[in-house]
Amino acid sequence: MDSLADLSDIEAFDIENLDIEELDDGGALGVVTAETSGDAASVDRRMRILAELVSAAASADRLLAAVSAARAEAVDQVRAWCLANELAAERDRARRAMLAQAVEQGLTADLDSTAESAGDSEAVSAGVAGSRWDALEIAYRTAISELACALHISQASASNLLSQSEALAGAYTASRTALASGQISYAHARVLIEQANSLPEAARVAFEAEMLPEAKRLTVAQFDRTARRLREKTHPESIAARRAKSQADRTLVFEPAADGMGWLHSYQQLPVAQAIYHRVSDMAASLQGPDEPRTLAQLRADVLAALMVDGVTPAGLGRGIRATVNVTVPVLTLLGRSDEPGHLEGCGPIDPETARELAAGAPSFTRILVHPETGVMLSVGRNQYRVPKDLRRLLVIRDETCRFAGCNRPAARAEMDHTHEWQADGITRYDNLASLCAPDHRLKTQTNWTATQLPGGVLAWTAPSGLHYRSDPSVPFEPPGIVADPPPF
């Protein structure tokens, strides 16, 4: 934590004990009025206080930068330790295999020190015995999953943090030094790394050296524009070649928002994105008139929604297809006796009126009461590995997302995992099943991440490190009474 020592000379400013009455000579603190402006000493004193307050804020910001540098160092140590540990464990396994083979062949007397040291390693792999993942994959997935759970971030964010920390601890040490001393923010460092990493490796050091002085004086937005321009000038590949590569990254992202709203973000080729926006804008503008109360922005949103929900592509794609959305509605809300919000799968609360409208008749929505309907088969015991369709539907509603700690991928596209593994005599039953996305299902299978299912669908996760995490279902479910497994016939 040497990064923090650089800020030991920052003077603390005691805001709580500031004597307002002493400073307030007839006007508000820090405001020079006509009545007080004639007192030069008072004005000087007020401006000095303002300068100290601003300096205190700047000092705190430099402290944040130093802590970010220290975090980068700690995160990279996690990466380095996981990698070194897994490589040591892999070497240990190889030595043990050599020893076993030598014993079989009766060559133990001729073994050298390499074989004799087979048991000397202290490495314990985070992978399960017989894992199909190699040491690099186990190390990477272990570091990412452990950091994601410990820092309460997604695994994608943890992966980005890991790569940025490795860069600051390695190739971009000058940026880390500037970050540790509070000369730049972590946002500046992230922009620099992103732009530099898009250049050939040989050009990155020079790019960093040229951009660091700019990072120390520009806002993040200004620095980003400047860095992009320099990257454009120095990149050896043409923009056409780079555009062809970037086109593979096009995507559409859904992001829930507050108050029953949400965002759609689409990353497209620039001409396509512009064409979409102009077409929607033109259609929205054509609807404007003296009797149209909606603003142009509202009309754009409504036109896009109508096109996407009901529209058809030129190839006919989308005809007859509507999205299926699960909405959970409390019984009393459905009957109009309560204003308790409904719950839209993957998003969260929606207002009672919308919930009642959706439950009343929209054919594209699945209507579900808080208490599941009777007749759902909750267990098939050891008779069947495959999860019955109605049980799977119930579990998707219960889970809503992947049940690995912190994961937010939709349960509707996840796999059904036997918490107590099927091959270890686990049963196909509601309280031994949970939704796991494919990557996290593989993580549980190939590494020493383990889960225990508690009443109500709660999952208690234990990491390879031994740390513990909890995953709660979206809709806690525990049927009344004990559900007996069906007879084995």
Express each pLDDT in 84-106 by its tens digit.
Answer: 999 999 988 888 888 878 777 77
Residue 418 pLDDT: 95
Say how many Å lie between the first and final Cα of the chain, rounded: 64
Residue 394 pLDDT: 86
Residue 56 pLDDT: 92
Same domain for 124 and 39? yes
Give mean pLDDT, residues 27-32.
41
- The residue written with tokens 């309280």 in the block is 431
Same domain for 272 and 404? no
Domain boundary among 366, 398, 429: 366
Residue 346 pLDDT: 60
**What b/e sequence results for 9-29 when a residue is b if at least 16 CB atoms lie within 10 Å of its CB, and e otherwise?**
ebeebeeeeeeeeebeeebee
Which one is predicted more confidently, 423 or 325? 423
Model confidence band, residue 363 (pLDDT cutoffs 50, 70, 90): low
Q: How far is CA 273 from CA 23, 107, 299, in A?
A: 56, 69, 18
Same domain for 343 and 449? no
Least confident stretch, 65-74, 351-360, 402-411: 351-360
477 occurs within a structural domain: no
Residue 439 pLDDT: 94
Whether the predicted pLDDT of 9 surpasses 60 = no
Whether the predicted pLDDT of 112 surpasses 90 = no
- The residue written with tokens 């689409």 in the block is 266
Residue type, 395: L
Q: How far is CA 172 from CA 46, 145, 197, 209, 232, in A?
A: 42, 25, 10, 10, 20
Same domain for 351 and 310? no
Range of the domain at 413: 379-471
Give mean pLDDT, residues 248-259.
81
Give mean pLDDT, residues 107-112.
55
Give mean pLDDT, residues 367-377.
44
What values do phi and psi take at 53, rounded to 5? -65, -45
Provide the phi-psi class of 73: left if phi over 0, else alpha when psi is between -120 and 50, else beta. alpha
Residue type, 389: K
198 occurs within a structural domain: no
Residue 345 pLDDT: 64
Closest CA to 387 of 379, 398, 375: 379
Q: In total, how many domains does the chain have?
A: 4
Residue 257 pLDDT: 80
- The residue written with tokens 């620095």 in the block is 223
423 occurs within a structural domain: yes
Whether the predicted pLDDT of 436 surpasses 90 = yes
Give mean pLDDT, residues 287-308.
87
Which one is predicted more confidently, 145 or 241? 145
- The residue written with tokens 């930068």 in the block is 65
d(CA 345, CA 155): 21
Least confident stretch, 78-92, 147-161, 220-234: 220-234
Same domain for 172 and 65? yes
Least confident stretch, 17-26, 117-126, 221-230: 17-26
Domain boundary among 157, 183, 209: 183
Tokens of 302: 């409504």
Least confident stretch, 23-37, 47-61, 194-208: 23-37
Q: What is the dihedral of CA 334, 340, 342, 346, to 10 degrees?
A: -160
Whether the predicted pLDDT of 330 surpasses 80 = no
Give mean pLDDT, residues 295-301.
89
Q: Global pTM?
A: 0.68
3-class secondary-structure state, position 369: strand
51 occurs within a structural domain: yes
Whether the predicted pLDDT of 398 surpasses 60 = yes
d(CA 233, CA 214): 16
97 occurs within a structural domain: yes
Whether the predicted pLDDT of 59 surpasses 60 = yes
Least confident stretch, 11-25, 62-76, 293-307: 11-25
Whether the predicted pLDDT of 273 surpasses 60 = yes
Sort strands 365-369 and 415-418 into parallel, antiparallel or unpaired.
Answer: unpaired
Same domain for 384 and 354? no
d(CA 77, CA 73): 6
Spatial contact of 468 and 410, defined as CB atoms under 8 Å apart: no
Which one is predicted more confidently, 258 or 480? 258
d(CA 448, CA 124): 11
| Percent above pLDDT 90 for the chain | 38
Whether the predicted pLDDT of 5 surpasses 70 = no
Model confidence band, residue 348 (pLDDT cutoffs 50, 70, 90): low
Residue 441 pLDDT: 96
Chain centroid to CA 180: 25
> How many other CB atoms are found less than 10 A from the CB of residue 349?
14
Residue type, 364: S
466 occurs within a structural domain: yes
What values do phi and psi take at 415, rounded to 5? -105, 155
Same domain for 344 and 304? no
DSSP classification of residue 475: S
457 occurs within a structural domain: yes
| Number of Cα atoms under 13 Å in the Cβ half of residue 433 | 27
Same domain for 159 and 10? yes
193 occurs within a structural domain: no
Same domain for 385 and 343? no
Same domain for 384 and 331? no
Whether the predicted pLDDT of 327 surpasses 70 = no
Model confidence band, residue 255 (pLDDT cutoffs 50, 70, 90): confident
> Mean pLDDT for the chain?
79
What values do phi and psi take at 305, rounded to 5? -60, -45
pLDDT one-digit tens code per residue, 162-186 = 999 999 999 999 999 999 999 999 9
Model confidence band, residue 360 (pLDDT cutoffs 50, 70, 90): low
Same domain for 354 and 306? no
Whether the predicted pLDDT of 305 surpasses 50 = yes
Residue 271 pLDDT: 65
Same domain for 290 and 164? no
> How many other CB atoms are found less than 10 A from the CB of residue 178?
23
d(CA 318, CA 457): 36
3-class secondary-structure state, position 71: helix
Domain boundary among 304, 339, 366: 366
Query: Exposed, middle or buried by CB within 10 Å (0-12, 13-18, 19+), for 101?
Result: exposed
